[in-house]
């Protein structure tokens, strides 16, 4: 049997090839469509008569197509792209058919009004209500020409999103800066030189070494970020910065036209459903009640951070002047990371590179797993070899409860592979928790998560030595994984992150980041990879002091992205008098302290909103950060040095936020944990900001 037709369990990755995708998905879709036709003709409006058989149909497609999507992100190839592109329209058509099935919709409505509904568990009720809402937002009420046009738009958007993502990957891969002379690498840390020499060898310079070069700098984050922070060659920083912000904005990988078309189609689709714009449609299924509530939060955070961001820039200027820098009075975008790092070094007497030797991946994982045990009572152990993997570097882990019974598993794909793996970091579900009923009775299927990062890989015989930012990213994705893995909901439609409103889904991930600044936690993460020396206390104190360094600038950057996203999907009229660049420049006046360059087309690589799930939802990071900061404040209130209180509070967090998944509204889940609704004060305090008066 073709591996992609297995339909359940752990994917047999080594046996899956791009050539199998088209025949397998074609066969699956034919079977699923036939089963759906049968179900529609014999609707029994009960949980066992409708919801369970529909789940079985959906799960088979989700399992197989989910593997294809996963491999598109971590093992991309021209052959896989072609197969994905060929099957995507038919797959989208299946989901459209599902979302627009009048028979299923009427069945759900009949369940909702039946006597059985009153006796449902809370999760079951919410699944039914969400299904009705989602079908209405999928166009179930449309007929005739509007329905046909709506479906055409859905197909076109799926294709455009895929094209957008591929263009970003290809444009990132297409650029590199080859350095060959000692003066060209001035200021670059040894870790980057090792990585750049390895990139050079991959590019065909077989004799490249960290000491003699050549060195290849790429736009991949583990290369780009330290280069911008440390390169003393301002001309090269300018070149690399401009390459990044103009990625996928010209030539064969140009996304400019794709953006216009995506925005135009999203607005048209929203209008067909009766919404004024896509932002309104997006918020119809989110925690935030309306656009005004989002804008109110963004403005409160903007007003608390704008003056701080201006002061950050003045501090950089003053520092650069004190160092006699020629560019001091005219700092450009490509100077900010460099001078921020120099000021951080001077102010806190350390730099990010100094910390790398103290954060080998294995030690960081050990500290992270110990923290998870302390907070949530779980035990995480290596299970390498018990699951097939797509790359030899991928790890596999088991999660067990207090009774040492397995409750979940996860893959960890930690390292950057720019030739085949898209940038960024993410968590995705491989298998969701659910209760299965068969002839032998009910059994619970355990959840399995994919955790994907893009951190610095092992180089020249050294282990993966992480920056503190990479440590935070790992904690972030692990937080998402915890919500997927520690769920106790047995209905697949609400277990883990399923049915969790998009603007609440970042709560556990951002919550976990806070622990990187907790003294016992950080000291448990940091041990020198060669000597075993623990992270010195002075480094902890410096990291803590540096936490709010330039936090106004960091906050304002996220506000700018959020506002731009909301404006483009809200008030902006594609093809109108105001261009996308006009919108960006208008918003930049109140949300950036240095205006963007004329050639800055960062939107052309803004995959979150044009190829991901964050369209008219990028604000979700800040919305959820209010929740996560306030949730962490509960641990601060309990006393971070009180092990018993931390354990008690951690179990309460596990039994609410991590356990309940999408079975209840996130406000109910949050108040069940915190005892009240969220307060943004903790977020401003953690960022060293005070609300504007």
Residue 314 has pLDDT above 50, yes or no: yes
Residue 450 within a domain = no
Angular region, 120: left φ>0, alpha ψ -120 to 50, beta rest: beta
SS3 category, 176: strand
Residue 543 has pLDDT above 50, yes or no: yes
Q: Of these residues, 295, 341, 477, 567, which one is catalytic? A: 477
| Sign of the torsion formed by the C-alpha atoms of 370, 371, 377 and 382 | negative
pLDDT recorded at residue 692: 35
Q: Which residues contact 449 (CB under 8 A, 6 or more apart)?
A: 408, 409, 410, 411, 427, 428, 429, 430, 480, 481, 484, 485
Query: Does 57 share its domain with 136?
Result: yes
636 tagged catalytic: no
- What single-letter DSSP state applies at residue 46? S
Average pLDDT over residues 223-250: 97
Average pLDDT over residues 326-334: 94
Q: Which of 210-224, 268-282, 340-354, 604-618 has the lowest mean pLDDT?
A: 340-354
Q: State how far the Cα of 530 lies from the Cα of 522, in Å rounded to an integer.
A: 18
**What does 405-462 look like in DSSP terms, one character per residue?**
-EEEEEEEEEE--TTTS-SS-EEEEEE--EEEEETTEEEEEPPEEEEEEEEPPPBTTB
For the chain, give the percent of residues with pLDDT over 70. 99
What pLDDT band is residue 440 in, cutting at 50, 70 and 90?
A: low
Query: Does 219 share its domain with 137?
Result: no
pLDDT tens profile 242-251? 999 999 999 9
pLDDT recorded at residue 375: 98
In contact, 283 and 616? CB cutoff 8 Å: yes
Query: Does 121 share its domain with 230?
Result: no
What pLDDT band is residue 26 in, cutting at 50, 70 and 90?
A: very high
Query: Does 107 share its domain with 26?
Result: yes
The end-to-end CA distance of the chain, in Å, is 67
Buried b (16+ CB within 10 A) or exposed e, 255-283: beebbebbbebbbebbebbebebbbbbbb
Q: State how far the Cα of 269 lies from the Cα of 138, in Å rounded to an integer.
A: 10
Query: Does 120 share its domain with 16?
Result: yes
Q: With CA atoms as reference, report the closest residue to 243 among 176, 322, 297, 193.
A: 176
Residue 83 within a domain = yes
pLDDT tens profile 449-497? 999 999 999 988 899 999 999 999 999 999 999 999 999 999 999 999 9
pLDDT tens profile 612-670? 899 999 999 999 999 999 999 999 999 999 999 999 999 999 999 999 999 999 999 99
SS3 category, 619: coil
Antiparallel, parallel or unpaired: β 176-179 and 215-218: antiparallel
**Residues forming beta bridges with residue 438, ordered by sequence position:** 441
pLDDT recorded at residue 691: 46
pLDDT recorded at residue 690: 67
Give the total number of structural domains in the chain: 2
Name the one residue in this structure whose structure tokens are 């003393």.
232
Query: Does 123 share its domain with 11?
Result: yes
pLDDT tens profile 113-169? 999 999 999 999 999 999 999 999 999 999 999 999 999 999 999 999 999 999 999
Query: Does 184 share its domain with 135?
Result: no
Give the count of beta carbons closer than 10 Å to the beta carbon of residue 377.
16
| Token reading at 521 | 């936690």
Distances (CA, A) of 136 to 101, 139, 556: 10, 5, 36
pLDDT recorded at residue 607: 95
pLDDT tens profile 89-111? 999 999 999 999 999 999 999 99
Domain that holds residue 23: 3-141
Which uninterrupted H or E stretch holds 376?
Answer: helix 361-376
pLDDT recorded at residue 352: 81
pLDDT tens profile 178-187? 999 999 999 9
In contact, 352 and 240? CB cutoff 8 Å: no
Largest CA distance in the chain: 80
Residue 445 within a domain = no
The percent of the chain in helix, strand and coil, each rounded to the nearest 5, is 60, 10, 30
Name the one residue in this structure whose structure tokens are 């809370």.
122
Q: Which residues contact 119 (CB under 8 A, 6 or more apart)?
A: none
In contact, 479 and 375? CB cutoff 8 Å: no
Residue 403 within a domain = no
What pLDDT band is residue 48 in, cutting at 50, 70 and 90?
A: very high
For the chain, give the percent of residues with pLDDT over 90. 95
For 274, list phi and psi in degrees, rounded to 5: 95, 10
Q: State how far the Cα of 566 lies from the Cα of 162, in Å rounded to an integer.
A: 22
Q: With CA atoms as reference, report the closest residue to 615 among 81, 73, 164.
A: 164
Query: Does 34 share its domain with 131?
Result: yes
Give the count of beta carbons closer than 10 Å to the beta carbon of residue 204.
8
Residue 531 has pLDDT above 90, yes or no: yes
Judged on CB neighbours under 10 Å (0-12, 13-18, 19+), 253 is buried
Residue 525 within a domain = no
| Token reading at 329 | 């009075």
Residue 586 within a domain = no
Distances (CA, A) of 538 to 350, 535, 549, 550: 10, 8, 17, 21
**Residues forming beta bridges with residue 179, ordered by sequence position:** 215
pLDDT tens profile 287-298? 999 999 999 999
pLDDT tens profile 498-524? 999 999 999 999 999 999 999 999 999
- The CATH code of the domain that includes 96 is 1.20.1050.40
Q: With CA atoms as reference, report the closest residue to 137 among 116, 120, 154, 123.
A: 154
Antiparallel, parallel or unpaired: β 406-415 and 448-455: parallel
Query: Does 114 share its domain with 21?
Result: yes
pLDDT recorded at residue 693: 34
In contact, 175 and 223? CB cutoff 8 Å: no
Average pLDDT over residues 290-313: 95
Q: Which residues contact 237 (CB under 8 A, 6 or more apart)?
A: 227, 228, 231, 334, 335, 338
Omega cis (within 30) before 690: no
* Mutual angle of helices 333-348 and 291-322, in 10-degree steps: 70
User: Quick one: how far is CA 295 from the chain centroid?
Assistant: 22
Name the one residue in this structure whose structure tokens are 């950036």.
592
For the chain, the average pLDDT equals 95
Q: State how far the Cα of 23 lies from the Cα of 87, in Å rounded to an integer.
A: 9
Residue 89 within a domain = yes
Query: Does 10 share its domain with 99?
Result: yes
Residue 438 has pLDDT above 70, yes or no: no
Query: Does 127 share its domain with 211?
Result: no
Among 121, 141, 161, the domain boundary falls at: 141
Among 219, 246, 273, the domain boundary falls at: 246
Average pLDDT over residues 330-342: 96
Q: State how far the Cα of 655 lies from the Cα of 167, in Å rounded to an integer.
A: 42
Q: With CA atoms as reference, report the closest residue to 456 among 361, 532, 533, 525.
A: 361
**Residues forming beta bridges with residue 465, ordered by sequence position:** 360
In contact, 92 and 75? CB cutoff 8 Å: no
pLDDT tens profile 352-389? 889 999 999 999 999 999 999 999 999 999 999 999 99
Q: State how far the Cα of 185 lies from the Cα of 193, in Å rounded to an integer.
A: 8
Among 205, 225, 246, the domain boundary falls at: 246
Buried b (16+ CB within 10 A) or exposed e, 44-76: ebebeebbbbbbebbbbbbbbbbbbebbbbbbb
Average pLDDT over residues 219-229: 95
Residue 26 within a domain = yes
């Amino acid at each position: 049997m073709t591996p992609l037709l297995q339909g359940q369990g752990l994917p047999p990755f080594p046996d899956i090839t791009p050539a199998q995708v088209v025949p397998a998905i074609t066969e699956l879709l034919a079977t699923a469509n036939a089963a759906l036709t049968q179900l529609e003709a014999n609707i029994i409006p009960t949980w066992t008569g409708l919801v369970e058989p529909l789940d079985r149909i959906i799960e088979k497609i989700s399992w197989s197509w989910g593997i294809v999507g996963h491999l598109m992100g971590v093992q991309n190839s021209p052959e896989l792209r072609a197969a994905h592109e060929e099957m995507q329209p038919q797959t989208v058509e299946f989901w459209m058919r599902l979302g627009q099935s009048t028979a299923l919709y009427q069945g759900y409505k009949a369940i909702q009004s039946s006597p059985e509904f009153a006796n449902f568990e809370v999760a079951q009720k919410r699944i039914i209500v969400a299904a009705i809402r989602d079908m209405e937002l999928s166009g179930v009420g449309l007929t005739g020409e509007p329905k046909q046009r709506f479906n055409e738009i859905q197909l076109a958007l799926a294709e455009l999103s895929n094209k957008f993502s591929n263009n970003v990957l290809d444009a990132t891969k297409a650029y590199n800066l080859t350095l060959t002379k000692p003066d060209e690498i001035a200021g670059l840390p040894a870790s980057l030189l090792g990585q750049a020499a390895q990139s050079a060898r991959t590019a065909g310079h077989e004799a490249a070494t960290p000491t003699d070069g050549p060195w290849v700098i790429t736009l991949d984050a583990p290369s780009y970020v330290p280069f911008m922070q440390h390169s003393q060659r301002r001309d090269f920083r300018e070149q690399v910065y401009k390459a990044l912000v103009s990625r996928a904005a010209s030539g064969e990988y140009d996304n400019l036209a794709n953006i216009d078309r995506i925005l135009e189609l999203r607005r048209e689709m929203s209008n067909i459903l009766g919404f004024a714009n896509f932002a309104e449609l997006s918020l119809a299924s989110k925690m935030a009640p309306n656009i005004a509530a989002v804008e109110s939060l963004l403005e409160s955070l903007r007003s608390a951070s704008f003056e701080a961001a201006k002061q950050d820039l003045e501090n950089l200027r003053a520092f650069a002047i004190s160092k006699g820098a020629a560019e001091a009075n005219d700092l450009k975008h490509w100077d900010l990371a460099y001078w921020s790092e120099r000021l951080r070094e001077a102010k806190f007497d350390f730099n990010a590179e100094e910390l790398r030797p103290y954060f080998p991946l294995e030690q960081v994982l050990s500290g992270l797993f110990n923290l998870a045990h302390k907070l949530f009572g779980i035990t995480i152990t290596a299970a390498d070899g018990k699951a097939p993997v797509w790359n030899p570097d991928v790890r596999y882990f088991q999660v067990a409860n207090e009774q040492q019974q397995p409750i979940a598993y996860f893959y960890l794909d930690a390292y950057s592979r720019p030739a085949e793996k898209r940038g960024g970091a993410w968590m995705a579900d491989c298998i969701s928790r659910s209760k299965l009923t068969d002839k032998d009775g009910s059994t619970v299927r355990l959840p399995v998560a994919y955790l994907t990062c893009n951190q610095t890989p092992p180089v020249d015989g050294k282990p993966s030595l992480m920056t503190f930012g990479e440590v935070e990213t790992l904690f972030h994705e692990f937080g998402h994984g915890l919500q997927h893995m520690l769920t106790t909901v047995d209905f697949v439609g609400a277990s883990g992150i399923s049915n969790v409103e998009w603007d609440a889904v970042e709560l556990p991930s951002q919550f976990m980041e806070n622990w990187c600044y907790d003294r016992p936690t950080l000291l448990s993460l940091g041990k020198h990879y060669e000597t075993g020396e623990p992270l010195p206390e002075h480094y902890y104190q410096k990291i803590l002091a540096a936490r709010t360094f330039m936090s106004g600038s960091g906050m304002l950057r996220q506000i700018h992205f959020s506002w731009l996203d909301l404006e483009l999907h809200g008030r902006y009229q594609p093809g109108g008098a105001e261009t996308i660049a006009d919108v960006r420049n208008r918003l930049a006046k109140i949300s950036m302290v240095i205006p963007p360059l004329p050639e800055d087309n960062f939107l052309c690589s803004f995959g979150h909103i044009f190829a991901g799930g964050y369209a008219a939802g990028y604000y979700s990071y800040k919305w959820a950060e209010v929740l996560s900061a306030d949730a962490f404040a509960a641990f601060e209130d309990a006393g971070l040095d009180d092990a018993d209180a931390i354990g008690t509070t951690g179990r309460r967090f596990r039994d609410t936020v991590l356990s309940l998944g999408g079975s209840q509204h996130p406000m109910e889940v949050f108040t069940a944990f915190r005892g009240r609704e969220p307060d943004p004060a903790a977020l401003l305090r953690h960022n060293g900001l005070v609300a504007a008066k």
